[in-house]
Amino acid sequence: MLLTMTSFLFRYKMKQRFALLVLLMAAMAIPQLASAQKGKLNIAEQYFQSFDFRNASKIYADILASAKHANDTLPLRRIAYCQTKTGEWIKAEANYKRLIAMNMGKPSDYMGLAEVLKLQGKYTDAIDVYNKLLAVQPTNHIAKSYITHTDFAQRIVRDSAIYRMHLAEINSPYSDFGPAFFVNGQLVFASSRGDGTKHQAMYNWNNQPFLNMYQCDIAPDSSLKGARVMGQDMTSRFHEGTMTYNPSTNVIYYTKENLRKGDFDKVKGGRRNLGIYSIKYNTAEKTFGDEEAFAFNNRNYSLGNPTLTPDGKRMYFVSDMPGGSGGTDLYYSDWKDSLWASPVNCGNKVNTLGDELFPFALSNDMLYFSSNGHLSIGGLDVFYTNPNDTSGVKNIGYPGNSHYDDFGLICFPNETKGYLSSNRPGGKGDDDIYEFSIQPVDEVFVSGVVRDNNTLEPVANATVMIPAEDGSMLQVKTDANGRYTITVPYKDIIELEASKAMYLPGKASRKADPRSSFMEDLNIEIQKIDWMTSGKVIYDADGKPAVGAIVILNELTGMDTLALDTISITGTGTYMWPLQANKTYLTIALKDGFSRMTEKFTTNNPAQKVHTRDFKLFKLEKNTTVKVDNIYYDYNSAVLKPESATELNKLVAILRDNPTMRIELGSHSDSRGGDSYNLTLSEKRAKSAVDYLIGQGVAKERMVSKGYGETILLNQCDDGVTCTDEQHAVNRRTEFKVL
C-alpha cells in the first residue's frame, strides 16, 4: 500500500529535494556506464523524479542485473528507496544491507534499513542498525533516541487494550485520508476516488486520480456516512487536500498546489510546490466565496496541512521552508490585528531530522501530529504534546499506531473518540480512514526516581505516598537506586509526595493521560536538612488527619515573636520544617471549633536534631473527653512519678492556650482490688494530678478532680473475668473532660 497523502503533501516535496540531490550524483556516475546503461539510468531518474517508483524500480533492477554494474551504488541505493516506498520491504532490506556490507553505506542507508526493519516489526534488528549508524554519524539524534529507549516498542504497545478501531464505511478502493471537522456535524476528507471532476488527471506514483475534498455525515454513534464530493469551487483537475474550518468566521483553510495568475507557480525544473489557501463558506446557501492565498506561500517551498486552534487565533501548518530541523517541520502563525503573523517554528521538542506532518490542534494546549523522527513502531506514527510547555512528546500507542503509516488524527474534545488515517493492511484501498474509541483507564502505574535536590543523587529508602479515596495513604519505598513504582487510582492530576528522615518532603505532579495506564519519569526532589521539626495534626477522637487545620511556626527571640511559616494540613496529616541550630521555636496548631495547641522547644542539643510533636485536636464542646497518656504513679500510691510531668505539662499548655476552658480531671482504675479501695485511690490520684497543674500556674477554679475507680471500664474486664495485664491496662487511665 502507498501513502498518497504524504506523497502529495510533504513527503513528496522532501523526495523532490532528495531527487534533485541524487540527480547531481547521477550526473557524475552516468559517464562511467556504457551508453545503453546511461540511457536506462536517465529514464529511471525521470521516473524517480516524478515519483513513479514502480517503473523506476524496474529499470534500476535491469541495470543491476548486469554483472558489470551489479554493485553500482547509485542504482542500488535508488532501488532500495523505491522498494521501501512501494511496500517491497524485504527486497529493500536486502539491498540496504548490500550497500552497508560493501562499506559504501551512507547514514541515509542506515536510516533506510532501520525504517524497513521497523515496518516489518523487527525492532531488535533496527536497534542494532541504529547502533551501527552512531559509529558512522555520532550526532544522529534519531538514532540516539532509539538507543536510549531500546524498549520503545514495548512501551508503545502496552496500552493496546484501551483502543477500539473500526474501518469507516466511507472508504473507497483509492486513497482516503486527512479527516477534518466541518459544519453541522459533518466531516471532510481528501480522496483520490476521482468523483465529480471531468477529465481527472492521474498521479504517477500510484496511478490514481489527483486528490479532491469530500464530505460526509457524522452519525450519533460517531460513525461516518454518505461520502460525497464537495462543491466545484473546492474541486480541480489537480490536488486539493487537508483542510481546517473556523466556525466563528466560516472560513476554510486548505492545501493545494500553488497558483499565480490562474496558472501553476512552478520553480526551476517544473516542480509545483504547495500552498495554503482560504475560502469563505456560506453555511445557509452552501456556496463558496473567492479564494485567497495565505500571505506566506512561497513558490520555492511548500506550506500545507493547516489546522486551527478552537478559538481560531493560531494556525499550525507544515512546511519545508529553509531553516527547519529536518525534512518538513511544524510551524504556527498567530492571528493579530486581522492578519496572520510571520510563521514561527515549533522548535526542537516537536520537530526532528525527519518529517513532521498533519497537525491537529485539539485545544490551545494539546497538539496532535504525525512524525517519522520520534520513537515509532513503523513509518509515520501519531504523537501528541502540549506545545506551550516543556513536557515531552508522546506516542498515542498501538493500535492507534501500527507498523505502517498512521497520520491525520482528529478527535472530539473528550479525546475518547475520533478518526485517523492509515495504510495498514485490512483496509479498502491505499490509505483509509478509521474510526477509533478509547476506554479511559481506571488506574495508573506511576514510576520515577527520588533525588536529592542539591546533589541530584538518588535517595534510597524514601517513602513515596499518595492519599487513597478512603482517606488512607498509598505508599511505597524507593529501592537502592532511588526508584519507585506505585499503582494509583486514575485522576486528572496525579500528585505524589516523597519524604525521608532529615529531608524536607518533595512533591511532583503531572496531568494524567486517559490513553495510558503508565506514567513514567515522575521524578521527585527532596531537600536534605540538618535540624527539623515534624509531626502530625490529627483528631483525638479517631486519629485521622485534621484536614484544614493549620500549623504555625514562630521563632522566639527575647521578648519578640517572629512568624516564620504556616502549613495547612492535608490528607497526609503531617507537617515538617527545617530549622536552625541554637534557636527557640514555638509551633501552634489551630482549627475552628477545636482546641488550640502549642509546643515550645529549642535546637540546642546536637544529639537531638529532630524534634517531633503530634498534635491531637479535640472539640471545644461540653463533655468532650480526652485521654492523657503516660501518667504514672507508684504502686498503691497517689504520688506522681517524675516521667508523668512531660504529659501533664502538655495539659498545662492546653489550658493556657484555651483560657476559657474548664475541665474535670478524672482517674480510672482496673477491676482488680476492692471497689471501695479503687475508688479512693483513683480520687487521690486525680487530686494529685490537679495539684500538679495548680503548681504549674493553672488557676484551681478551672479544674475539678474526680475518681471513678472501676465504674467506667472500656472493655469486658470486670470482676470475675479473666484478662491479661494488657487488657487490664486499658482501663487504668487519666482523662480530662471539658466542662
User: Residues 6 or more apart from 454 whose CB is under 8 A from it?
Assistant: 527, 528
- Give the pLDDT score at 235: 56
**Which of 537, 313, 372, 307 lies closest to 11, judged by CA?**
372
Q: Is 502 exposed, middle or buried (0-12, 13-18, 19+ CB in 10 A)?
A: middle
At position 454, the amino acid (one-letter code) is N
Average pLDDT, the chain: 86
Give the separation between CA 425 and CA 409, rounded to whole angstroms. Answer: 18
Q: What is the 3-state secondary structure (H, E, C) of 460-502?
A: CCCEEEEECCCCCEEEEECCCCCEEEEEEECCCEEEEEEECCC
**Domains along the sequence of the chain with CATH:** 34-150 (1.25.40.10), 161-438 (2.120.10.30), 443-528 (2.60.40.1120), 529-620 (2.60.40.1120), 622-739 (3.30.1330.60)
Angle at 278 between CA 272 and CA 282, to 5 degrees: 140
**Which of 403, 418, 398 lies closest to 163, judged by CA?**
398
Angle at 335 between CA 334 and CA 339, to 5 degrees: 120
User: Residues 6 or more apart from 510 whose CB is under 8 A from it?
Assistant: 493, 494, 519, 522
- Give the pLDDT score at 285: 87
Residues of the chain with pLDDT under 70: 1-37, 195-210, 231-241, 259-272, 634-635
- Give the pLDDT score at 72: 86
